[in-house]
Amino acid sequence: MKWGLALRLGALLASFSVFAALLAGYYAFDSSRDRLQGRAERSLMDTTQVLARHMQAGFGSVARDTAFLAHAAAVEQDLGHLTELFQASVVAHHSYLQIRFISAQDHGLELVRVDRKGETLLVAAAEDLQEKAHFPFVFEALTLPPGQVYVSEFGINHEGVADAEALPVFSMASPVVSGGRVRGVVVVRLAAAKFLGNLDGSLPSPYGFYLSNRWGDFLVHPDATQTFGFDRGQRILIQDTFAPTAALFSGAEPTVVFSQPGTADNEALVYSFVRMPFGRDDEGRFMVVGLSQPLAAVQGEVLDLGRSIFKILLVLSVVGVLLAAWVSRVVTQPLQAMVNAAQAFSQGRPHGALPLHRKDEVGELARSFHDMEQQISRQMTELNASRDAMSHLAHHDALTGLPNRRMFEQRLAQVLELSRRSGRSCALLFVDLDDFKAINDTRGHAVGDEVLQAVARTITGAVRQVDTVARLAGDEFTVLCENVDTEEAALQIATKLEQAFEAPLSIAGQPFPVRASIGVSLFPRDAQDAHTLMASADAAMYRIKQSRRRQV
């Protein structure tokens, strides 16, 4: 074979084309891997922060219940009525193990005690009431102002309470103040596993959930033997297991993300941890919340992309070698166009038309390159769609499709700012289903989920299109109404919403009666900020629920 100029030039151009394609594929894979892994780590951190906020919301809900019960104990003189209120609270909250009213006198003698034993409630007899003044949740809570709540550290229960012996628990307590005198404290004891179970159980199976106290002792760990080591005379610390988390305990960083290589027994994992404030603001206490995810899950899409690019580049290289053997002066220019296209594609720039119409090897190479470009574009589109789906899940409730608490709080802040500027009021409706726990217990969670979905549709259909409907948690929904200038206008919206629940909902083709309690608060009449506005609507709803009547 005579190596003429055209053949040698063609071989040189073909070799350069293959090399450029391989180089472009390598850098495309390398940059995509770094970007996608970084995006996945940020998404894991976002999920951890959302989880931490949900935990804070859960603590806040229990704190509000505790403060309410303390207020009820201050105004209720009949201990029998107070006992009934305690019983109703234990029934309504599956994680509540015990509610007590403890006197400030007589060495902290219990005046009322309601215990949970399985699904049975036990009211302690007078001879079984004990003195508790030596416990921190008593003497610490007695020093607090009215309405403040003391939160204990997580620990193993050793008080011998029915159905709670040796279980992980924590307590919240609030002082009972009547006539300017501290009469005692109300203490709510919760089962930590049940309280945290709703959060842990909602996570997909690849995720691992971690929780530690402010000293680093594991409270939750995928391996239960690592938890509450201090109760067994051991100190199993999160900063010893995961060294990067030491920055959280020193306060140097509020969040950390890192990965650890796998071993023969364990796969490689990526971790994200968040320092979450815990207790009252003046105490400076905190907990560390973390999630883990297999590194293979984070990099799975990147590896699939790399394998596809490798296969395409392998085919492209074979075609390039074949073309180099038969190149001539006629195909020199098309090959140069292919080289330019490969360089442009590797840099993300548009390129000119390829000779797809040719019936020879050059046309085949052009079509192969075009297919590679389209396949990579499709895969990048799918990866972007996955990212958008994760972003949607972070702001919307997966069951009902409504905005979640995070998105609702953002929207509420925006509406309040607009209301301050325009001078027009807005209204917040807090909707809570009556006896929803009974539906789950008697009909099952599947029916309960259908009820929640039907309720979401009912609320959305009853309010205005401009109103924002959100699901905060469980059976709690909110409606944010802009430009509601009068109380009558807000009540009209709430009345229309109440009327929507008069007819039974359609669940699986069957009528299903559902009642709801609705509380309304107006901005700025009832509150000057988002937190107080939500608390006002929540309190109004709670009063309606307590009245045992459906009204606004």
Q: Note the pLDDT tens digit of each residue in 125-180.
A: 989 899 999 999 999 999 999 999 999 999 888 775 444 456 889 999 999 999 88
Report which of 107, 109, 104 is spatially closest to residue 126, judged by C-alpha positions.
109
Q: Is the pLDDT of residue 98 over 60?
A: yes
Q: Give strand pairing partners of 275.
A: 288
- In sign, the C-alpha dihedral spanning 76, 78, 82, 88 is negative
Task: Give the fold, CATH level 3, of 60-194.
Answer: Beta-Lactamase (3.30.450)
Rounded Cα distance, 24 and 28, in Å: 6
Task: Give CA angle at 219 (166, 37), nearest 5°.
Answer: 150
Rounded Cα distance, 488 and 302, in Å: 57
Rounded Cα distance, 226 and 208, in Å: 13
Q: Note the pLDDT tens digit of each residue in 282-307.
A: 888 999 999 988 877 656 666 666 77
The phi, psi pair for 481, rounded to 5°, reads -115, 120
Rounded Cα distance, 37 and 183, in Å: 57
Q: Is the pLDDT of residue 212 over 90?
A: yes
Confidence of residue 507 (pLDDT cuts 50, 70, 90): confident
Could you tell me where in the chain the CATH 3.30.450.20 domains are found?
A: 41-47+196-297, 60-194
In the prediction, which pLDDT does 231 show? 81
State which CATH number among 3.30.450.20, 3.40.47.10, 3.20.20.70, 3.10.20.520 fits the domain covering 41-47+196-297. Answer: 3.30.450.20
Identify the residue whose tokens are 């330019």. 340
Q: Note the pLDDT tens digit of each residue in 176-198.
A: 999 889 999 999 999 988 888 76
Q: What is the CATH number of domain 405-546?
A: 3.30.70.270
Q: Specify the DSSP class assigned to residue 131.
A: B
Rounded Cα distance, 55 and 432, in Å: 20
Whole-number average pLDDT of the chain: 83
Q: Are 214 and 248 in contact (CB under 8 A)?
A: no
What's the whole-number mean pLDDT along residues 449-465? 89
Could you tell me where in the chain the CATH 3.30.70.270 domains are found?
A: 405-546
In the prediction, which pLDDT does 526 show? 87
In the prediction, which pLDDT does 11 show? 65
Confidence of residue 394 (pLDDT cuts 50, 70, 90): confident
* Residue 146: its H or E element: none
Residue 535, CA distances (Å) to 21, 56, 541 in order: 61, 15, 10
The phi, psi pair for 520, rounded to 5°, reads -125, 135
Confidence of residue 252 (pLDDT cuts 50, 70, 90): very high
